[in-house]
Every structure is written in C-alpha cells, then in structure tokens.
C-alpha cells in the first residue's frame, strides 16, 4: 500500500511538472504571438508618401530661378577664362614670333618668357578661384532648395501625419509605388504658391 501511495504521489508530482512546462510553453508562445501582433499592428499604422524629386526640381520656381542665376555666373566665368586664355595664347605666339625672327635681345626674350609664365600661372590661379567660388555657390543654392522643401514638408506633415515621406527619381530605388501615395503635385503647387507670395 505504501508503495502504491509513493507511486501515486510521484505520478502526481510528475504530471504537475509537465503541466507547468506546458503552461510555460503556452505563455511563451502567446507572448511571442502577441509581439508579432503588436509588430503587425504597428506596421499597419505606417503611413508613407513619396515625392518624385526630378519632377519637383524641374518645376519648382525657386530651384529654376537659382539654377538660372548660377548658370549665368558660370557662363560669365567661362567667358572671362576664355578671354584670358586667348590673350595668353596670342601673347605666346607674338613672343615666339619675335624671338624666332631675332627682333628682341636675349635679355628681352627671357623677360618675355618670364612674363608669359607669370601670366599662365595667374590664369591657373584665376581658374581655380572661380571653380572654388562656383562650387561654393552651387552648394549654397542646393542648400536653399533643400531647406525650403524640408521646412514646408514639416509643416505639411503636421496635418497629414505621415510616418515617412521619401523621395524617388526615375532611376531611383523605388521601382513601383501606389500613385495615391505620390504627393509631388500638391507639394509643388504649395511651394510655388509660397515662392510667388514671397516675391
């Protein structure tokens, strides 16, 4: 009889342990599934919109005006450099012609060569300075456009509450998206309206 009672007690204890492990496993499974459900619910609440940045940059009036101003400066710098280069080329041909014909002394020829080398170095320095100035102006132009767009998007998104607004280009990483998520035209219209009002 004692042996039977011990066996029954052992069986009850074993069953209780098994039930506890099963209960723990169920709790872990429920906990894991709850985490998955929470993740799904969080992702279902994700609102995304996109802007076709090529179209925006092509039709944004501020960007167009800044590009034209920048291009005018770049063209002016190019004309100045070409004029200096042509003058240097002409001076070199004249000096070479005079030296070959023996129309100048050796001392004068050396002085002419030194002057031409100084003129050439000045041209290189001018070119480097102009390129540096243009690069800086281009960076400032791009920053002005970028911050004008970003400042408006912060205001725009205070109403729409998108989780994310991304930009894409014709050859960008987004290959396909729902056209209803495209906010390019409404953003562009408001940016241009603000630009006109600011003028």
For the residues of 123-136, what is the DSSP string, one character each? HHHHHHHHHHHHHH
| pTM (2 d.p.) | 0.70
* Tokens read off for 169: 């280009």
| pLDDT value at residue 40 | 39
164 forms beta bridges with: 48
| Tens digit of pLDDT at every position of the chain (199 positions) | 444 333 334 333 444 445 455 445 434 444 444 444 344 345 567 899 999 999 999 999 999 999 999 999 999 999 999 999 999 999 999 999 999 999 999 999 999 999 999 999 999 999 999 999 999 999 999 999 999 999 999 999 999 899 999 999 988 888 888 999 999 999 999 999 999 998 7
Q: Using an 8 Å Cβ cutoff, are 134 and 77 in contact?
A: yes
34 forms beta bridges with: none
Task: Tell me 181's DSSP state.
Answer: G
| pLDDT value at residue 43 | 53
Cβ neighbours of residue 90 under 8 Å, at least 6 residues apart? none
Residue with tokens 């209960």: 23
Q: Using an 8 Å Cβ cutoff, are 168 and 50 in contact?
A: yes
Cβ neighbours of residue 85 under 8 Å, at least 6 residues apart? 123
* Tokens read off for 181: 């998520």
Specify the DSSP element, H or E, that contains 167: strand 164-168
Of 49, 48, 67, the closest CA to residue 57 belongs to 67
Give 134: exposed, middle or buried? Use CB within 10 Å, 0-12, 13-18, 19+: middle
């Amino acid at each position: 009889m004692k042996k039977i009672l011990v066996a029954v007690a052992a069986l009850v204890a074993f069953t209780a342990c098994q039930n506890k492990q099963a209960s723990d496993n169920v709790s872990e499974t429920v906990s894991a599934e709850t985490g998955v459900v929470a993740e799904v619910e969080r992702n279902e609440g994700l609102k995304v919109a996109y802007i076709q940045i090529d179209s925006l940059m092509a039709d944004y009036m501020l960007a167009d005006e800044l590009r034209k101003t920048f291009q005018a400066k770049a063209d002016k710098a190019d004309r100045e450099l070409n004029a200096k280069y042509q003058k240097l080329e002409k001076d070199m041909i004249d000096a070479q012609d005079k030296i070959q014909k023996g129309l100048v002394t050796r001392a004068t020829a050396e002085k002419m060569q030194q002057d031409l080398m100084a003129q050439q170095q000045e041209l290189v320095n001018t070119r480097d300075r102009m390129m540096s100035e243009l690069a800086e102006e281009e960076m400032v132009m791009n920053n002005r456009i970028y911050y004008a767009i970003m400042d408006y998007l912060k205001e725009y998104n205070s109403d729409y509450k998108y989780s994310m607004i991304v930009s894409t280009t014709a050859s960008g990483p987004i290959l396909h998206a729902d056209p209803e998520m495209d906010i390019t035209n409404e953003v562009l219209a408001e940016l241009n309206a603000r630009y006109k009002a600011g003028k």
